[in-house]
Structure 1
Amino acid sequence: MVRIESYEKQPPLLKEVTVTLHYHRYDNDYEGWNLWVWLEGEAGQMAEFSGEDSYGKTAVFSIQSTEEIKRVGFIIRKSTAENDWAGKRFDDRFITSFDSSGQAEVWLMQGMERIYENLNDVMVFPGIISAKIDKWDEISVLTNLSFDWEHDNLNVSLDGAEVKNIRVEKDHAGSDLANRLIIKTKNRLSLTKNYQVNISHFGYCDVTFGDIMRTKKFDQTFEYNGFLGAQYSPDHTLFSFWSPSAQQAEIKLFMNDEVFLYKMQQAERGAWQIDLPGNWEGAHYVYRVRIGKEWRETQDPYAKAVSVNGLRSAVVDLQHTNPVSWKPFKRTLESPVDAVIYEMHIRDATIHQDSGSFSKGKYLGLAEEGTVTEHGFSTGLDYLSELGVTHIQLLPIYDYWTVDETKLDQPQYNWGYDPKHFNAPEGSYSTDPYNPALRIKELKTLIQAIHDRGMSVIMDVVYNHVYDVSRSPFHQLVPGYYFRYTRSGKLSNGTGVGNDTASERAMMRRFIVDSLVHWATEYQIDGFRFDLMGIHDVETMNAARKALNDIDPAIIMLGEGWDLQTSLPDHLKANQFQADQMTGVAHFNDALRDHLKGNTFSKQDSGFINGSLGMRYHLLQGVSAGMKVPYDRKTFISPEQVVNYAEAHDNHTLWDKLCFTTPNASMSDHKRMHRLATSIILLSQGVPFLHAGQEFMRTKFGVENSYRSPDEINQLDWHRREEFNQTINFVKGLIELRRTHAAFRMRTKQDIIDCMHFHPTDERLIAYDLMAKEGSYERFTVIHNAHGTPVKFHLESEGPWHILSDGIHASSKPLSISRSDMIEVSRYSTYVLALPFRSEKVRE
């Protein structure tokens, strides 16, 4: 890297500055007001407002120092004959911008803390920002400028209800200023009646909904079951959105270089609609709503198509987005335990220089057929089909915030866990993000390509938060409804990213279910992985499961059932401790993950495969999916609820974890430990999950969370696919073994209890039998050896034993046959032996 030094001319050192400060008071009362000014570390002095102009009063003062002056502090204060500090406006403020001669000029407004450096920027007049019903007998009123309730002689009235009393909430402890007052009414307020607040100097404001919208009564009053979104036909398009908070609504459409603005009509239960005649295909649109005195402009939260960077919603004829090859896909999955899930990022899959893809990093790049490396090794979907995985889980493919689709020629990367539009595809994976319909068609082309190879698609969905609450269409249309808040009024933050959506509210729950149905039907998505699922509530997850069952019970639901500290009662959270209340919803098994390789949040912590003792009991829980050896607190009731994994897109890859925890181990032992961990995942009861590249020991060079790291860190290294081809064949053999023999994917808890039997072993060894109910084998014996040396294991009979895995090779058919009752299991390896049924023994 070449460092470019900057030799720009440095500004002069200032030891004397002169400030001109303009002050405007909307009440025209300047009596006794003056400035207290100072330099840091030096005594302060008073400065008078001695001048006047069309803006208001002015004060001009100069300050000198023996040191460089970087900023000047000031306070506007009220002085009386008895007390120089009878009052003040705000706390310490600072002027920091001076020209080369030390001059500064600023403008201040009564009730505003902001310091303006340009008069043209000061466009503020007293006004009411909002008036909201927070309680059944309270309206909270917010003004844009602060006021002194005791001295400004404000008159307050309320149309539509009788006022009982008014109280003021001060800006700061000990301050005279306030910009919020609470109107308490004599009688209970109505959700369907119109109210208006009037304040002298500040004008009027229609009353809308505040905290009251987070009550059951609000949902009962305004829950809406009608159509939402844009419903296109060649003759007309129906537009509809939900906003009980709005007093007026409009739709602004952009088409053929023209802009059209139409008023929308209020429908029942807070919905707004307009049915526009004509063919609006290709039009872009936004909604405009007036809430209180403020007009807001935003996209359609139900938009199924969006413009570049999701700035506007778009009208598309979805029938025109189907590729020529588009056809219905018959899902044949009988149980989630039959799945082998492979998690992958669209860009990672093909961006490598030797991926063999033409459209690298795009939907179409992954959809390409016959892609190979320079040396002829398969890549892309052909490779995954050969590997034997059943479901490709795609990291977020909905439209997200943090990749600028107008600058795709510049290096950009993100995983996509920053939702913008939940129902429209991401544009950066399209060959033309400016074309709303094309990104839909190209994503469908990829899905069809996956289906054509006999594999299914799981979509990573992130309904638990939004990237930016203030700019979210949810918040713009119904501020305060779609998110959880703490008792202090702040956004709940169980997600750790600043906000939690409120799935327990009727219209958020409806949105999640509607969105899932859209993806499952329009795109034929075969499963959904819920990011931070523990934020959601049990009822919502069950509603989602029911809706997807109505489409096809073979659609998989899995998620992160972590116990997160959100503003929701514990017993309602959709986490692992309520798994027994969510039939058909699977949870990532972090217990097996952490006891297998060490705590995922600690670089140095190790587990069963890399040196720690005391892990055996936890591994018995893991390999039995908590069915034979139950978890203490988790409430899994079926193996289909348990997703077993060793690594995923976030945190360190398994290979990097081994490098941190066993730095002195040989490359050979690292490979063996890695294969051991992967084999435990693939042979355990429950649903196996692989991270892309895990089968060729993917590294991210020690980067833990690479969500915005460059391609060099995140890309699937197809050269490594060539280098580790033997291990790929081992994983391929394990997948084939699992998919061939039903004993490795038992359907019920009782089956596992009856047919899985553990052998007594030491802490570094796991051994168990699986009794088969069908097929050519009577039983399987699985041995996981985490010793750094070979171990001899005594079998219950002389066989003949068919060896299906020797830690380096694996197959559904015998690698070799042993007639001994003793087997030597190599260090850090998994052996699988099968005992044929008696009829098979006779043939031997």
Structure 2
Amino acid sequence: MVSKILPGRPYPLGAKWDGTGVNFSIYSERATGVDLCLFDDDGIESERIPLTEVTAFVWHGYLPGIPAGQKYGYRVHGPWDPANGLRFNPAKLLVDPYAQAITGYVDWTQPIFPYKFGSHDADLVRDDRDSAPGVPKCIVVNPYFDWEHDRPLRIPLADSVIYETHVRGFSIRNPDVPEHLRGTYAGLASPASIRHLKRLGVTAVELMPVHHFVNDSHLVQQGLTNYWGYNTLSYFAPAGRYCATNDEGNQVAAFKAMVKTLHREGIEVILDVVYNHTAEGNHLGPMLSFEGVDNLTYYRTLAHNPRFYMDYTGTGNSLNVRHPQVLKLIMDSLRYWVTEMHVDGFRFDLAATLARELHDVDRLSGFFDIIHQDPTLADVKLIAEPWDVGEGGYQVGNFPVLWAEWNGKYRDTVRRYWKGDNGQLSDLGYRLTGSSDLYKHDGRRPYASINFVTAHDGFTLHDLVSYNCKHNLANAENNQDGANDNHSWNMGVEGPTSDPEIIHARERQKRNLLATLVLSQGVPMISGGDEMGRTQRGNNNAYCQDNEISWYDWTPSSEKESLIDFVAKLVELRRSHPNLRRKKFFQDRVIHNSAARDIAWYDIDGEELSPAAWNAGWVRTLGLLLNGETLAEIDQLGNTVKDASFLLLLNAHHEAVTFLLPPCPGSGVWHCILNTNDLETPFKHTIAKKRVRIEGRSLNVLMEKPIVPPPLL
């Protein structure tokens, strides 16, 4: 029993252990009382202690003698008036919004809803049953960890190659990872995993959500789970389900150890974060944390009817980013993951929601103002998913300086081009060269564009070229979920086939898309598993499939090895040549009164592409010259960098074409260094003739090399 609680401090918020006791503090503007609840090792509530000290709406107290590892939660008193947005219910145990570790899962069979079921206006009638048995418990964390001089890698975004992956799915089936580590933070940082990532040459892993999240009720009832994790309960606690030992605080050290190991191998860690909504859903959702702490502070409610929530995310609620405490929560979370957990950047899910001050997306909203002036975040990578589901929510190209964006226009254009759609050429030109139409006007650089052709949301690369329709029946929603993609990529056969011609065509399309992605200006993001032909059997919305549909298949095969090798060599080509990852947009300028230009576009006759050809919907062939002679970038040592020139020849037509090659910008000759139609030796180097045949739906890359004189006899 705790004999006495001391006043403690209002800040920092959360539960902070100092070696002799714990300071507890929680913000609630409208509460009339707050009880701190302590739990024993069996999850039984052992003490309930009122916090009587209140400073600027922060309820706080210090308990001497409390050790790290103590389980706790809160009960918050206040008015029950749902019609006016007030939903206080002390019968419901609440997770601390600042909890740094959480143990246990939500039990949907327990009375975790704050209202009584059974009527049309059920949410207006309070339920006074205790929810504690069904709510996860917070854990007091020991902050000590030996980082062994770990420091941020600070890899320039322009030089980055991002690998989007899932902590569990990546290693869960890898036989080279020790069995007890598979599917965990330690599994992702195991020697076998590191070998694969380093072989690919990626510079950063972008982890799908690792903030503690909740399995949705309807999924649990179907025997499914929220595999992706976009259902956050806590913005400070790493998900315990990915800890190799147990989730009673060990997940914090496990996450730190993973980051330290990846950093040691030169790989950064970017987190996919979901600050736009929480796991509590709409007005009929469970009461787990924010709703019971102070509903009107944390959530956007309808101005004329605060019983209901604004929903810009399609999940039932939206965080009230207009409120200073919510802004503080997000900023405190970001700073915590940078300073205490050593992560290198963030990808913000549905980021347009964070920019909404009133209704419209506002580029100068409070969120951006605060994040731009924060010195802790000055050197981290900030990547937006620049859309939400609300009106006016598609904001590709409209985020401020310092931000990069998932370039959805890149994905759509490159897919359409290689599928053979009409009218893609002019837009493709922008996408191949860094999307200057989106980012140049506001002072950003090509690396503001995070290029991708596939991501976790949608078909995998293999399925993109193998299926025409989604096959989501395993999600138990009658195949009604997921985007209604109709790509016609399946080469006439839906799904697996033994036809060698179709297999060759699909493999070639994979290589076309991967080569386009890695060799485009901007930052390539590879969807994890695409490099080994990962399939979800046509499921384009596998958010609830924590099974072999989503998990990576590490079974060795010659086909996988070939594709992995292809991606690794592509990334190495990009890394070796600054001309393929420029830090500035192409100027198309004349240098030294000569005809040398940064960039030029050609048709199959070796002539510069005419305005008519750019706008002709039926043209599907394109030559792109990247002039290395004009690169003239300054490196970190002050040296002027020049590079080889490249000629990319793209043919999305189903028949072969012959390109008449333009002259080299320098005094060398063209060498073909990549042919996506050659599956066995795609990087075989050959001296190019004056005319080059490009097979249907394939891509060639030529590089200028010096003329080698014949040996003296």
Pairwise same-fold verdict (TM > 0.5)? yes
Residues in 2 aligned to 1:780 and 1:810: alpha-carbon distance in whole angstroms:
21
8 Å CA contact 1:351, 1:715 repeated in 2: yes
Q: What's 1:758 paired with? A: 601
8 Å CA contact 2:350, 2:388 repeated in 1: no
Q: What's 2:395 paired with? A: 575
Structure 1, 738-747 or 556-565: larger mean CA deviation: 556-565
8 Å CA contact 1:577, 1:633 repeated in 2: no
Unaligned runs of 5+ in 2: 1-8, 81-87, 106-134, 356-362, 469-487, 493-501, 590-596, 604-608, 614-618, 633-640
Displacement of 1:265 after TM fit?
3.0
Residues in 2 aligned to 1:683 and 1:752: alpha-carbon distance in whole angstroms:
19
8 Å CA contact 1:465, 1:500 repeated in 2: yes
Displacement of 1:399 after TM fit?
0.7
| Residue in structure 2 matching 1:269, options 56, 64, 69 | 56
8 Å CA contact 2:653, 2:696 repeated in 1: yes
| Residue in structure 2 matching 1:744, options 558, 570, 580 | 580
Q: Aligned to 1:733, what secondary structure does the other structure show?
A: helix
8 Å CA contact 1:326, 1:444 repeated in 2: no
Q: What's 2:704 paired with? A: 835
Q: Aligned to 1:677, what secondary structure does the other structure show?
A: helix
Instruction: Show the 5 A alignment for 1:688-727.
Output: 688-719=524-555, 722-727=558-563
Q: Check if 1:621 corresponds to 2:437.
A: no
Q: Check if 1:317 corresponds to 2:113.
A: no
- State the Cα deviation string for residues 780-828 of structure 1 (Å, max 9, x = none): 11122212233221222264223332226799x9842425332222332
Q: Check if 1:663 corresponds to 2:476.
A: no
8 Å CA contact 2:16, 2:141 repeated in 1: no
Q: What's 2:76 paired with? A: 289
Residues in 1 aligned to 2:278 and 2:377: alpha-carbon distance in whole angstroms:
29
Q: What's 1:420 paired with? A: 233
Q: Check if 1:542 corresponds to 2:375.
A: no
Residues in 2 aligned to 1:751 and 1:232: alpha-carbon distance in whole angstroms:
56
Q: What's 1:483 paired with? A: 299
| Residue in structure 2 matching 1:228, options 8, 13, 32 | 13
Displacement of 1:669 after TM fit?
0.8
Q: Structure 1 residues 315, 298: closer, same or farther in 2, change over 3 A? A: same
**1:641 maps to amino acid:** A
**2:435 maps to amino acid:** G
| Residue in structure 2 matching 1:767, options 601, 619, 623 | 623
Q: Aligned to 1:496, what secondary structure does the other structure show?
A: coil
8 Å CA contact 1:729, 1:809 repeated in 2: no
Q: What's 1:825 paired with? A: 694
Q: Structure 1 residues 756, 735: closer, same or farther in 2, change over 3 A? A: same
Displacement of 1:741 after TM fit?
0.9
8 Å CA contact 1:777, 1:836 repeated in 2: no
Q: Structure 1 residues 503, 325: closer, same or farther in 2, change over 3 A? A: closer
- State the Cα deviation string for residues 93-141 of structure 1 (Å, max 9, x = none): xxxxxxxxxxxxxxxxxxxxxxxxxxxxxxxxxxxxxxxxxxxxxxxxx
| Residue in structure 2 matching 1:791, options 657, 660, 677 | 657
Q: What's 2:164 paired with? A: 343
Q: Check if 1:248 corresponds to 2:33.
A: yes
**TM-score, structure 2 as length reference:** 0.75
Larger Rg: 1
More RCO (CA 8 Å, sep 6+): 2
Q: Structure 1 residues 365, 631: closer, same or farther in 2, change over 3 A? A: closer
**Percent identity for Structure 1 against Structure 2:** 26
Displacement of 1:306 after TM fit?
1.5
Q: Structure 1 residues 318, 252: closer, same or farther in 2, change over 3 A? A: same
Q: What's 1:332 paired with? A: 154
Residues in 2 aligned to 1:843 and 1:298: alpha-carbon distance in whole angstroms:
79
Displacement of 1:700 after TM fit?
0.8
Q: Check if 1:648 corresponds to 2:435.
A: no
Q: What's 2:102 paired with? A: 306
Q: Aligned to 2:569, what secondary structure does the other structure show?
A: helix
Q: What's 1:450 paired with? A: 262
- State the Cα deviation string for residues 534-589 of structure 1 (Å, max 9, x = none): 111143553464366x23644211121015416xxx6xx7932532xx11111111
Residues in 1 aligned to 2:491 and 2:18: alpha-carbon distance in whole angstroms:
66
8 Å CA contact 2:396, 2:438 repeated in 1: no
Residues in 2 aligned to 1:331 and 1:545: alpha-carbon distance in whole angstroms:
21
- State the Cα deviation string for residues 354-383 of structure 1 (Å, max 9, x = none): 4544222222222221x3xxxxxxxx2211
8 Å CA contact 2:397, 2:405 repeated in 1: no
Displacement of 1:476 after TM fit?
1.1
Residues in 2 aligned to 1:461 and 1:583: alpha-carbon distance in whole angstroms:
20
- State the Cα deviation string for residues 25-55 of structure 1 (Å, max 9, x = none): xxxxxxxxxxxxxxxxxxxxxxxxxxxxxxx
Q: What's 2:208 paired with? A: 395
Q: What's 2:403 paired with? A: 585
Q: Aligned to 2:538, what secondary structure does the other structure show?
A: coil
Q: Structure 1 residues 440, 843: closer, same or farther in 2, change over 3 A? A: farther
Q: Structure 1 residues 315, 710: closer, same or farther in 2, change over 3 A? A: closer
8 Å CA contact 1:287, 1:299 repeated in 2: yes
Residues in 2 aligned to 1:707 and 1:825: alpha-carbon distance in whole angstroms:
39
Q: Structure 1 residues 756, 721: closer, same or farther in 2, change over 3 A? A: farther
Displacement of 1:755 after TM fit?
2.3
8 Å CA contact 1:535, 1:574 repeated in 2: no
Q: Aligned to 1:792, what secondary structure does the other structure show?
A: strand
Higher strand share: 1
Displacement of 1:525 after TM fit?
0.6
Q: Structure 1 residues 330, 615: closer, same or farther in 2, change over 3 A? A: same
**1:311 maps to amino acid:** P
| Residue in structure 1 matching 2:198, options 374, 385, 407 | 385
Residues in 1 aligned to 2:325 and 2:147: alpha-carbon distance in whole angstroms:
36
Residues in 2 aligned to 1:692 and 1:636: alpha-carbon distance in whole angstroms:
31
Residues in 2 aligned to 1:801 and 1:554: alpha-carbon distance in whole angstroms:
40
Residues in 1 aligned to 2:556 and 2:428: alpha-carbon distance in whole angstroms:
30
8 Å CA contact 2:313, 2:388 repeated in 1: no
Q: Structure 1 residues 807, 434: closer, same or farther in 2, change over 3 A? A: closer
- State the Cα deviation string for residues 328-376 of structure 1 (Å, max 9, x = none): 1331312x1211111111111122264544222222222221x3xxxxx
Unaligned runs of 5+ in 1: 1-223, 372-379, 598-606
Displacement of 1:612 after TM fit?
1.4
Residues in 1 aligned to 2:504 and 2:674: alpha-carbon distance in whole angstroms:
18
Q: Check if 1:728 corresponds to 2:571.
A: no
Q: What's 2:67 paired with? A: 280
Displacement of 1:684 after TM fit?
0.9
Q: Check if 1:529 corresponds to 2:529.
A: no
Q: Structure 1 residues 843, 482: closer, same or farther in 2, change over 3 A? A: farther
- State the Cα deviation string for residues 451-482 of structure 1 (Å, max 9, x = none): 22211111110111112144242221111222
Q: Check if 1:507 corresponds to 2:298.
A: no
Residues in 1 aligned to 2:583 and 2:413: alpha-carbon distance in whole angstroms:
24
Instruction: Show the 5 A alignment for 1:3-82.
Output: none
Q: What's 1:5 paired with? A: none
8 Å CA contact 1:791, 1:827 repeated in 2: yes
**1:791 maps to amino acid:** V
Residues in 1 aligned to 2:21 and 2:674: alpha-carbon distance in whole angstroms:
63
Residues in 2 aligned to 1:814 and 1:682: alpha-carbon distance in whole angstroms:
15
Q: Aligned to 1:501, what secondary structure does the other structure show?
A: coil
8 Å CA contact 2:39, 2:72 repeated in 1: yes
Structure 1, 487-496 or 736-745: larger mean CA deviation: 487-496
Residues in 2 aligned to 1:545 and 1:446: alpha-carbon distance in whole angstroms:
26
Residues in 1 aligned to 2:557 and 2:370: alpha-carbon distance in whole angstroms:
38
Residues in 1 aligned to 2:439 and 2:245: alpha-carbon distance in whole angstroms:
52
Residues in 2 aligned to 1:684 and 1:350: alpha-carbon distance in whole angstroms:
29
Displacement of 1:711 after TM fit?
1.4
Aligned length: 581
Q: Structure 1 residues 504, 752: closer, same or farther in 2, change over 3 A? A: farther
Q: Aligned to 1:414, what secondary structure does the other structure show?
A: coil
Q: Structure 1 residues 810, 288: closer, same or farther in 2, change over 3 A? A: same
Q: What's 1:495 paired with? A: 313
